């Protein structure tokens, strides 16, 4: 039976900022209930109807408490992620920190919330990246973690299928968020990026939100194990 959208619950890690917030706002426009988990917020969260709970998404105890009080879950969106600049990802500590949040945090949420997703016939949406497939000399930890997220998505799509849980990923390209500000504000980087982009302009967070909402919807009911690029054609140019 197809539920009215206002009976559907989404939990979004990293849902207080950036692309996680954009996804939550789009789902709220479609009358989903949304709980955002994370350490940071942006002004757009205020008055949106999104519930926010402050937590480190690598904290198994805290995330487990959320799972125990959530018997049914229709969408888990793993948008929490970090990137470190100034060569910090070339250090042992920096690399491990990025992988811990981006990969281990994603796996932890999937594992702990799997029973609730199975109970509702829900789906998982992981956030990969264009750097899942391209190399970033500046950010090896980010690239490695996001490549692993894409592989994890395929593995869990197979593992969770028997329980009726779909698992997909979205791979954002150059989207106008705080995470991309360094590239956008540097003319030497921004110029070549825009020249390569077939779309001819930066993506907006709402572009990701709409794609995420589609993958979470019944219209995507026969789609699992895919990574959907939302990048204005950057990856094929």
Are 79 and 18 a contacting pair, CB within 8 Å? Answer: yes
Residue numbers annotated as active site: 142
Predicted confidence (pLDDT) per residue in 46-89, tens digit: 999 999 999 999 999 999 999 999 999 999 999 999 999 999 99
Predicted confidence (pLDDT) per residue in 130-150, tens digit: 999 998 999 999 999 999 999
Of the listed ranges 8-22, 39-53, 191-205, the one predicted with least confidence: 191-205
Q: Looking at residue 171, what is its pLDDT?
A: 98
Q: What percent of the chain has pLDDT over 90?
A: 90
Please state, in angstroms and rounded to a whole number, the distance separating the CA atoms of residues 123 and 138.
33
Q: What percent of the chain has pLDDT over 70?
A: 97
Written as one string, the DSSP assignment of 107-120 is HHHHHHHHHHHHHH
Are 88 and 94 a contacting pair, CB within 8 Å? Answer: yes
Predicted confidence (pLDDT) per residue in 87-101, tens digit: 999 999 999 999 999
Per the model's pLDDT, the better-predicted residue between 7 and 127 turns out to be 127
- Enumerate the domain spans of the chain: 5-228
Are 145 and 97 a contacting pair, CB within 8 Å? Answer: no
Residue 186 has pLDDT above 90, yes or no: no
CATH architecture of 5-228: 3-Layer(aba) Sandwich (3.40)
Residue 190 has pLDDT above 60, yes or no: yes
Written as one string, the DSSP assignment of the chain is -PPPGGG-EEEEETTTSHHHHHHHHHHHHTT-EEEEEES---GGGTTS--EEEE--TT-HHHHHHHHHT-S--SEEEE-------TTGGGSHHHHHHHHIIIIIHHHHHHHHHHHHHHHHT-EEEEE--GGGTS--TT-HHHHHHHHHHHHHHHHHHHHHGGGT-EEEEEEE-SBSSGGGHHHHT-HHHHHHHHHH-TT-S-B-HHHHHHHHHHHHSGGGTT--S-EEEESTTGGG-
**Average of pLDDT values for 115-126?**
98
Please state, in angstroms and rounded to a whole number, the distance separating the CA atoms of residues 82 and 24.
19
Q: Looking at residue 2, what is its pLDDT?
A: 47
Q: What is the pTM of this model?
A: 0.94
Residue 108 has pLDDT above 60, yes or no: yes
Closest CA relative to residue 77, chosen from 46, 47, 122: 122
Residue 109 has pLDDT above 50, yes or no: yes
Q: Looking at residue 3, what is its pLDDT?
A: 47
Closest CA relative to residue 44, chosen from 71, 22, 76, 12: 22
């Amino acid at each position: 039976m197809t539920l009215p959208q206002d009976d559907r619950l989404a939990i979004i890690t990293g849902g207080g900022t950036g692309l996680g917030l954009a996804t939550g706002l789009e789902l709220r426009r479609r009358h989903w209930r949304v709980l955002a988990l994370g350490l940071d917020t942006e002004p757009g969260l205020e008055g949106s109807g999104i519930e926010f709970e402050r937590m480190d998404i690598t904290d198994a105890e805290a995330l487990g408490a959320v799972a125990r009080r959530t018997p049914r879950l229709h969408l888990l969106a793993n948008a929490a992620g970090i990137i470190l600049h100034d060569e910090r990802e070339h250090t042992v500590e920096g690399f491990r920190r990025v992988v811990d949040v981006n990969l281990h945090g994603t796996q932890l949420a999937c594992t702990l919330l799997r029973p609730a997703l199975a109970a509702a016939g829900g789906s998982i949406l992981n956030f990969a990246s264009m750097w899942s497939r391209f190399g970033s000399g500046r950010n090896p930890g980010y690239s490695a973690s996001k490549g692993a997220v894409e592989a994890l998505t395929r593995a869990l799509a197979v593992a969770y299928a028997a329980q009726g849980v779909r698992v997909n990923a979205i791979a954002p390209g150059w989207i106008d968020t705080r995470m991309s500000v360094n590239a956008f504000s540097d003319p030497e980087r921004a110029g070549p990026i825009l020249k390569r982009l077939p779309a001819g302009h930066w993506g907006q967070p709402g572009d990701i939100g709409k794609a995420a909402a589609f993958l979470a919807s019944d219209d995507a009911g026969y789609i699992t194990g895919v990574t959907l690029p939302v990048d204005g054609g950057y990856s094929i140019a």
